[in-house]
Amino acid sequence: MGLLIYLNGKFVPEKEAKISVFDHGLLYGDGVFEGLRSYKGKIFKLDEHLIRLFNSAKAIALTIPLKFEELKKAVIETVRKNQLKDSYIRIVVTRGVGDLGLDPKKCKIPTIFIIASKIQLYPESLYEKGIDVITVPTRRNLNESLNPAIKSLNYLNNILAKIEANNSGATEGLILNQFGYISECTGENIFIVKKEIIITPPVSAGALSGITRDVVIDISEKIGLKVKEENITRYDVYTSDECFLTGTAAEIVPVVKIDGRIIGDGRPGKITLKIRNEFHLLTEKEGTPVYE
């Protein structure tokens, strides 16, 4: 049995969940999206993800055709209808159907769909061993062009970086901004640990304001670690004691090698594992219940 997809206000079977070839989300990547997870029947950080979605939409002057609370209900309902407990949820809002020109004025009704399904980015063994990362040639989009803070459907910058990482045989690609500072990876934020201080690049360096990133900052402070958001270079990463990536789909992934340099002792760091453990405890405890 396939999934039930929320599409423009209705639930339709996966096979019937189709959009027009004139949709500008497809023709031009004109739209925004979010990726969320539910754990044990509770959606983690639902409000935070929806706030970011509404902000992304605002930044591209796209009006989401549902109010915040309506969208929240639709997301909950999508998980419920698919009877999922642990799920990965994708919300997509596009500019909608227009003509073959790019002018969004011609797109009268945004398209909105929600998929609740599953995801596993990496096999469990990689979480235990840690991953290797390589710096990719493609630079982050400029803040003054397509600001990477917008979670838009225009992900080619990230996809080119992922292709470069794949071609090098690395698991992930580290993306620098135009100044040579580290922004983030292709679909995750980056953290380093140096002398028990947690450091992550600021959003202004070209990083998405990750929801998992915020959770990790909170956890770190709660367990008594100092957190800094500051520009870092590859030198800082190479000489760090620990390094890890964060994202909704990937969760918390230890990094043990970058550009051929072994990080720490080449195994997932103690602080990384502690934060990862606290993160999992939180995902089990917190969240918006789907089945109440």
Which residues are known to be catalytic? 151
> Does residue 177 touch ligand PMP according to CB under 6 A?
no
Nearest CA among 224, 208, 214 for reference residue 274: 224
> Does residue 158 touch ligand PMP according to CB under 6 A?
yes
Angle at 84 between CA 81 and CA 89, to 5 degrees: 85
Look-up: residue for tokens 């999922």? 84
Options 213, 253, 272, 279; binder of ligand PMP; rule CB under 6 A: 213
> Does residue 212 touch ligand PMP according to CB under 6 A?
yes
**Are the C-beta atoms of 38 and 89 separated by less than 8 Å?**
yes
> Does residue 162 touch ligand PMP according to CB under 6 A?
no
3-state secondary structure at position 201: coil
Options 26, 249, 273, 282; binder of ligand PMP; rule CB under 6 A: 249
**Are the C-beta atoms of 154 and 29 separated by less than 8 Å?**
yes
> Does residue 210 touch ligand PMP according to CB under 6 A?
yes
> Does residue 247 touch ligand PMP according to CB under 6 A?
yes
Question: In the numeric block, which tokens belong to residue 102?
Answer: 């790019």
**Alpha-carbon distance 189 to 213, whole Å?**
7
Size, binding site for ligand PMP by CB under 6 A: 15
Q: Between 82 and 183, whose beta carbon lies closer to ligand PMP?
A: 183
Options 184, 205, 237, 268; binder of ligand PMP; rule CB under 6 A: 184
Question: In the numeric block, which tokens belong to residue 171?
Answer: 């698991």
Residues that bind ligand PMP (CB under 6 A): 35, 158, 184, 187-189, 208, 210-213, 246-249
